[in-house]
A and B are shown apart, each in its own frame.
Chain A
Amino acid sequence: MYEGIVQDLIDELGRLPGIGPKSAQRIAFHLLSADPADVRRLAATLNEIKDKVRFCRLCFNVAQAELCRICSDQRRDPEQICVVEESKDVIAIERTREFRGRYHVLGGAINPIGGIGPDDLHIRELIARLADGTVTELILATDPNTEGEVTASYLARQIAPMGVKVTRLASGLPMGGDLEWADEVTLGRAFEGRRVVA
């Protein structure tokens, strides 16, 4: 154990995803010996993201205003919504330039081991977005793994009675993977070849 504030820093860093106790310690000591200007800039950025970055009121993508860049873009097709797990998936799909509609970010996937059920995801808000009949197609682009598949089938079952066409990205995406890491060509093809599931 280190003295007070140093240990606090190590503990805080250790709470971040993917950072174990050893890495936390290494980063803490790097910060202690780093140029004060660099460390202050990092601290300022951390403060700023909490003040300025928030989640889009409509789609829960990261945003700098009430609405994200995509939701506030009038040229985007309001009839299609692509459902993804995380904001980083929006970026992956945007890179393919295959999709001109809007998004809905669930904030994860159904995962009993991780303690995540339907109420922990932005599912209710998604269903509310479908209520006025503008949306004609819902594209389920959750990750091609067990939890993503289950989330997609759960949504398809919930939404089928509403009369909205529900499609799922074509297989061909590496199973067991993360949408984020699929290459552009594969992801683009998966978009083009999506199939109707409900």
Chain B
Amino acid sequence: MTARFPTTGICSCRSGCPGDVHLTHLSLMDFRSYPALDLLLAPGVTTFVGSNGQGKTNLLEAVGYLATLGSHRVASDAPLVRQGAASAAVRARIVRGDRAALVELEIIPGRANRARLNRVPLGRPRDLLGLLVMVLFAPEDLALVRGDPVERRRFLDDLLVARTPRLAGVLADYDRVLRQRSTLLRTAAAARRGGRTSDLRTLDVWDAQLARYGSELLAARGALVEALRPRVENAYSAVASSPAPTRSPASISAAGEVTLTRLEYHSTVLAGLPDQALIGRAHSASIPGEPIAGTPGGDRAALEEAMLAELARLRPKEIERGVTLVGPHRDELLLFINGRPARGYASHGESWSLALALKLASFELLRDDQREPVLLLDDVFAELDTHRRARLAELVMPAEQVLVTAAVDADVPVTLAGARFEVVDGRVDHVAG
């Protein structure tokens, strides 16, 4: 028998080693509308221009899938496979500094995907995480500000995995324990209502498992929110600040006005404590450098204890309702602009500025981690006014590689010149650059 996992470092350039990352080759087989496609890519900006439905977003979706093992457009894999085909394949050559890795992923709906690295099969596709890191900007980003809490939790968790791929395992374990524990509670609640005896003998051990993974996730989210906070504030100012009047007369911010954004992490785990602010203390740009007391990052044991205590406190309620009420899956990342919750109060323009700021802050954070993300800008310029377009274009320029899609050339700021492809009916033709 062979070991399930490669025992040697599969790619020593995965962490720590400096060097910008870019894709030099992308090939698709039976992915979405593409029976077969081979693309050569270069560092810098590459723009794919084509009308809707011609297949340009599919290209970015494929790159995103390699980075995150999921699509930003659909929850299941079935739509990714071309009609009539049994599976889809995405292959890319990733260059980091002077090293290259060939990454291959076969997507088989309803079954586990198969991954290979430099032609060696990996035990789990999850082992690919971290080789390619991306930040995606898409029209869906507006939901980060305006959507339900689940959107912001997913944003945090995706970023956690991009920074620390190991956490994909913690997330999967947490999710599994949560589903088992919630089923136990639901079954017991149904039994009680039906007049039968409910069996909750295993609830204590499920609590222990939930707190074990939950506290790890919570500590990681707390540290992430702390790291994001100053970066989001800066990025928001950079996107929303008053531009030169000639460039954007319609800008939302009047010259001289100070706009403050604030991130707060509200945890159900700490709801029972007098000082809820153990995590993600309220913090605004007006008091830079204030030390943050009780940042949860290091103290996982204390969080685990707090979570067990809160689970015990809410147990009667959980049993009565048959749901798990405590844990990172019920937590909230709250966003504020000028002291008011962005969700509900922010204008369309402000919401976009904040959504872009979250993504730009992710980009900066990953760069500071030496993760060197590739940027994917999917049809996002069309959503923005001239001012925000120009700001976004400026702010993404430092990236090693930027892949852009747009319906028409005019949507993309001229500053983002580079290679250009036209996408028509699943054909991708290099036309410039």
Which chain A residue lies CB-closest to B174? Answer: A146
Known: A175-B169, A177-B4, A182-B4. A146 touches B208 (CB 8 A): no
**Count of chain A residues with a beta carbon within 8 Å of a chain B beta carbon:** 26
Known: A118-B202, A174-B5, A186-B3. A147 touches B180 (CB 8 A): yes
A76 at the B interface (CB under 8 A)? no
A166 at the B interface (CB under 8 A)? no
Task: Looking at the assembled complex, report how far the CB atom of B295 sits from the nearest CB atom of chain A, in whole angstroms.
Answer: 28
**How many angstroms between the C-alpha atoms of A183 and B184 in the bound complex?**
33
A183 touches B209 (CB 8 A): no
Report whether over half of chain B's contact residues are helix, strand or loop; otherwise say mixed: helix
**How many angstroms between the C-alpha atoms of A175 and B4 in the bound complex?**
11
Task: Looking at the assembled complex, report how far the CB atom of B318 sits from the nearest CB atom of chain A, in whole angstroms.
Answer: 14
B177 touches A174 (CB 8 A): no
A150 touches B180 (CB 8 A): yes
Which chain A residue lies CB-closest to B206? Answer: A150
Q: Which of B5, B181, B201, B208 contacts A117 (CB 8 A)?
A: B201
B1 at the A interface (CB under 8 A)? yes
**How many angstroms between the C-alpha atoms of A111 and B123 in the bound complex?**
25
B176 touches A112 (CB 8 A): no
A184 at the B interface (CB under 8 A)? yes
B205 touches A112 (CB 8 A): no
CB-contacts of B188-228 with A (<8 A)? 199, 201-202, 204-206, 208-209
Which of chain B's residues have a CB closer than 8 A to the CB of A29?
none
For B133-164 the 0/1 string (1 means CB < 8 A from A) is 00000000000000000000000000000000
B1 touches A153 (CB 8 A): no
Which of chain B's residues have a CB closer than 8 A to the CB of A16?
none
CB-contacts of A99-128 with B (<8 A)? 110-113, 115, 117-119
Known: A176-B172, A181-B4, A183-B1. A146 touches B205 (CB 8 A): no
**Count of chain B residues with a beta carbon within 8 Å of a chain A beta carbon:** 26
Which of chain A's residues have a CB closer than 8 A to the CB of B208?
153
B77 at the A interface (CB under 8 A)? no
**How many angstroms between the C-alpha atoms of A31 and B113 in the bound complex?**
31
Which of chain A's residues have a CB closer than 8 A to the CB of B172?
176
B183 touches A113 (CB 8 A): yes
Which of chain B's residues have a CB closer than 8 A to the CB of A185?
3
Which of chain A's residues have a CB closer than 8 A to the CB of B177?
146, 150
B209 touches A149 (CB 8 A): yes
Can you list 27 A-B pairs with a CB-CB distance of less than 8 A? A112-B183, A112-B187, A112-B202, A113-B180, A117-B199, A117-B201, A118-B199, A118-B202, A146-B176, A146-B177, A146-B209, A147-B180, A150-B177, A150-B180, A150-B202, A150-B205, A154-B201, A157-B204, A174-B4, A174-B123, A181-B1, A181-B4, A182-B4, A183-B2, A183-B3, A185-B3, A186-B3
